[in-house]
């Protein structure tokens, strides 16, 4: 794959900004008085935390109040070593190591609890509220080890002096910010947005969003721990408030006010508000919190995306609609993947049943599908068609019977594991990533095969020929690759989702009413595409469709489902001319 070797302007801009910030940090001690240096050192440590919250909340959609717990754990781990064991160079290294390891272990546990098997979106937020409270209680009950309610104070830290701490924390913040900016703008960083937008689609692209969120929580807990280490050294005191829920909420407020999903916004928000708090809370000790609270409410109403939104309104903006073609990646052909061997069954369903409580939705379904077949699944509303597709793409759905894909029983398997067996699923309502561009959506579809770069935006987009064909035939190719998905028409989103599914190079494609709401021209294009995919390229497909004329034109076989039972499985002619079908569609047949 070719990479664009020229360095984009935004990389130079980032380097220039980082350099300017480094200069300010280096000469800062000569510019600021002691009070300002002290406050800014603390503010910059808090800004590191705000970056971690922004990656979790702003990019990945995980609202967390728990970063304070990891920060506090790191701070206490360091302070306990320095207080009880000493501050020799070796013990300093131990203090730093524990300030990372303990929060990382806690982060992995919290991540597993929040996003592990069976979790719901509510888990993460509730657990992030509970963890700081638990950690604070542990600190209170730690006796002399943690200093209980008084915290730990009077230990020796790194021998840097105030200017040294200012410079060290400044450099750490610049590094954290640059790494976060590079990562969130890389191909891999787009994965976070994909998870935020549409977790189910991620799973059906063969990705494992739960695992990714656990890894992210763990790594960012480690970063919060490093911030805790800096704080414990620079301030010379750690207290229960450093681990608490109130502090965790403050970080969220700084992030929101600065502008989540921007990295720079939360950095400015944290430094600005903490600095102002230090300046004003002396003069307005009781009013200050009220001022911050009121500011928060006003901002949420007027500028829900924070100060960064104001900056975007003022600064000239790139017109996203005109971002193509110069901003678009170039399409590159990927070698064809694992085609199915004609003759072998791709899918074998035997005695499949599904019930919701006492409601039996599917019963005794037997079905085989071979490579090259386009099997249409028809039946009246409520017959169980979508439920059947769900049972074929999620091994935890079926109540009875077996589903075998490419020779492997899928019972108990999760959607991403089934994608790896060669199943692609297209949903009834186009399931894409609205905040990403067309190219990024397609890149997500390849992410389980080609690990996306953590550092770069690729200048090319490698896709199998079948997916590129769909883009060409539906007009989504080059000119629209850089366009945000939110600007696409309904038909374009349907075509994009189909291209994403085909980009997975599945053996079996499951399509739930792919032509719903499309114009006649769009339907004809999709029909021709499906015929080519199956007839010429050897994919197998199961198509749920209500339009019998469309089905008749393109199918190789038709299966009729009625009241949860498979009542007919035959050639197009057999089914179309069947008395049973006529009776079912006229509403006359009952099980």
Ligand X SMILES: Nc1ncnc2c1ncn2[C@@H]1O[C@H](COP(=O)(O)OP(=O)(O)OP(=O)(O)O)[C@@H](O)[C@H]1O
Angle at which helix 34-53 crosses helix 9-31, to 10 degrees, equals 150
Tell the smallest beta-carbon distance from residue 312 to ligand X (Å): 41
Near ligand X by CB under 6 A: residue from 260, 370, 385, 443:
385
Closest by CA position to 353, among listed 344, 361, 345: 361
Tell the smallest beta-carbon distance from residue 542 to ligand X (Å): 13
Contact call for residue 361 and ligand X (CB under 6 A): yes
How far is 373 from 92, CA to CA, in rounded Å? 66
- Reduced to 3 states (helix: H, G, I; strand: E, B; else coil), residue 106 is helix
Burial class for 192, CB neighbours closer than 10 Å (0-12, 13-18, 19+): buried
Question: Of the ranges 24-32, 238-246, 330-338, 380-388, which one interacts with ligand X (CB under 6 A)?
Answer: 380-388
Contact call for residue 379 and ligand X (CB under 6 A): yes
Contact track, ligand X, 300-339, x by CB under 6 A: ----------------------------------------
Question: Of the ranges 241-249, 329-337, 383-391, 548-556, which one interacts with ligand X (CB under 6 A)?
Answer: 383-391
Of 422 and 564, the one with the shorter C-beta distance to ligand X is 564
Contact call for residue 269 and ligand X (CB under 6 A): no
Question: Of the ranges 120-128, 355-363, 495-503, 566-574, which one interacts with ligand X (CB under 6 A)?
Answer: 355-363
Near ligand X by CB under 6 A: residue from 83, 136, 176, 387:
387
Q: What is the signed CA dihedral for 399, 404, 408, 413, rounded to 10 degrees?
A: -30
Given a contact cutoff of 8 angstroms between Cβ atoms, the answer to whether 263 and 51 are in contact is: yes
- Reduced to 3 states (helix: H, G, I; strand: E, B; else coil), residue 404 is strand
Contact call for residue 521 and ligand X (CB under 6 A): no
Contact call for residue 359 and ligand X (CB under 6 A): yes
Question: Of the ranges 49-57, 297-305, 377-385, 406-414, which one interacts with ligand X (CB under 6 A)?
Answer: 377-385
Beta strands in 114-196 (DSSP E): 152-153
Contact call for residue 356 and ligand X (CB under 6 A): yes
Sign of CA dihedral 98, 101, 107, 112: negative
- Reduced to 3 states (helix: H, G, I; strand: E, B; else coil), residue 251 is helix
Tell the smallest beta-carbon distance from residue 356 to ligand X (Å): 4
Question: Of the ranges 199-207, 332-340, 378-386, 576-584, which one interacts with ligand X (CB under 6 A)?
Answer: 378-386
Near ligand X by CB under 6 A: residue from 382, 407, 475, 517:
382
Near ligand X by CB under 6 A: residue from 381, 412, 549, 586:
381
How far is 109 from 3, CA to CA, in rounded Å? 39
Burial class for 163, CB neighbours closer than 10 Å (0-12, 13-18, 19+): middle
Binding site for ligand X (CB under 6 A): 356, 359, 361, 379, 381-387
């Amino acid at each position: 794959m070719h990479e664009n070797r020229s360095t984009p302007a935004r990389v130079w801009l980032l380097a220039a900004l980082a350099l300017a910030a480094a200069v300010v940090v280096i000469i800062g001690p000569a510019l600021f008085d002691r009070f300002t240096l002290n406050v800014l050192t603390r503010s910059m440590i808090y800004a590191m935390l705000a970056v971690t919250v922004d990656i979790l909340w702003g990019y990945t959609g995980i609202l967390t109040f728990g970063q304070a717990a990891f920060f506090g754990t790191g701070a206490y781990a360091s302070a306990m070593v320095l207080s009880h064991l000493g501050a020799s160079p070796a013990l300093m290294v131990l203090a730093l190591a524990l300030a990372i390891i303990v929060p990382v272990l806690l982060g992995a546990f919290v991540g597993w609890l929040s996003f592990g098997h069976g979790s719901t979106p509510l888990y993460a937020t509730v657990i992030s509220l509970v963890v700081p409270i638990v950690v604070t209680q542990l600190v209170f009950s730690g006796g002399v080890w943690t200093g209980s309610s008084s915290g730990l104070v009077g230990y020796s830290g790194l021998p840097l002096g105030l200017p040294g701490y200012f410079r060290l924390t400044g450099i750490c913040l610049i590094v954290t910010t640059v790494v976060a900016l590079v990562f969130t703008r890389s191909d891999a960083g787009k994965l976070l947005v994909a998870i935020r937008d549409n977790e189910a689609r991620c799973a059906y692209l063969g990705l494992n969003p739960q695992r990714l969120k656990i890894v992210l929580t763990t790594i960012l807990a480690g970063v919060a721990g490093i911030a805790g280490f800096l704080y414990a050294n620079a301030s010379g005191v750690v207290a229960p408030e450093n681990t608490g829920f109130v502090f965790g909420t403050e970080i969220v407020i700084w992030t929101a006010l600065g502008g989540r999903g921007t990295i720079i916004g939360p950095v400015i928000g944290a430094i600005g508000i903490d600095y102002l708090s230090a300046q004003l809370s002396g003069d307005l000790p009781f009013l200050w919190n009220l001022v911050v609270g009121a500011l928060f409410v006003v901002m949420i109403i007027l500028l829900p995306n924070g100060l960064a939104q104001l900056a975007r309104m003022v600064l000239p903006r790139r017109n996203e609609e005109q971002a193509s073609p110069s901003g678009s990646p170039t399409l590159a052909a990927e070698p064809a993947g694992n085609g199915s061997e004609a003759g072998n069954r791709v899918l074998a369903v035997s005695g499949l049943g599904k019930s919701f409580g006492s409601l039996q939705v599917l019963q005794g379904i037997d079905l085989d599908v071979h490579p090259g077949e386009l099997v249409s699944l028809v039946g009246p509303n409520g017959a169980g068609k979508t439920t059947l597709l769900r049972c074929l793409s999620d091994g935890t759905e079926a109540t009875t019977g077996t589903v075998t894909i490419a020779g492997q029983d899928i019972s108990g398997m999760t959607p991403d594991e089934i994608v790896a067996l060669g199943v692609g699923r297209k949903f009834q309502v186009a399931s894409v990533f609205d905040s990403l561009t067309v190219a990024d959506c397609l890149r997500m579809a390849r992410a389980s095969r080609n690990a996306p770069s953590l550092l770069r935006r690729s200048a090319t987009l490698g896709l199998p020929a079948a997916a590129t064909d769909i883009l060409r035939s539906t007009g989504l190719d080059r000119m629209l690759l850089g366009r945000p998905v939110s600007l696409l028409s309904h038909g374009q989103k349907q075509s994009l989702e189909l291209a994403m599914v085909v980009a997975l190079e599945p053996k079996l494609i499951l399509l739930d009413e792919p032509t719903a709401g499309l114009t006649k021209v769009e339907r004809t294009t999709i029909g021709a595409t499906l015929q080519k995919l199956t007839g010429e390229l050897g994919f197998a497909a199961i198509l749920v469709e209500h339009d019998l004329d469309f089905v008749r034109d393109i199918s190789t076989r038709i299966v009729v489902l009625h009241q949860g039972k498979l009542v007919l499985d035959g050639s197009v002619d057999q089914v179309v001319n069947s008395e049973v079908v006529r009776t079912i569609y006229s509403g006359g047949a009952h099980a």
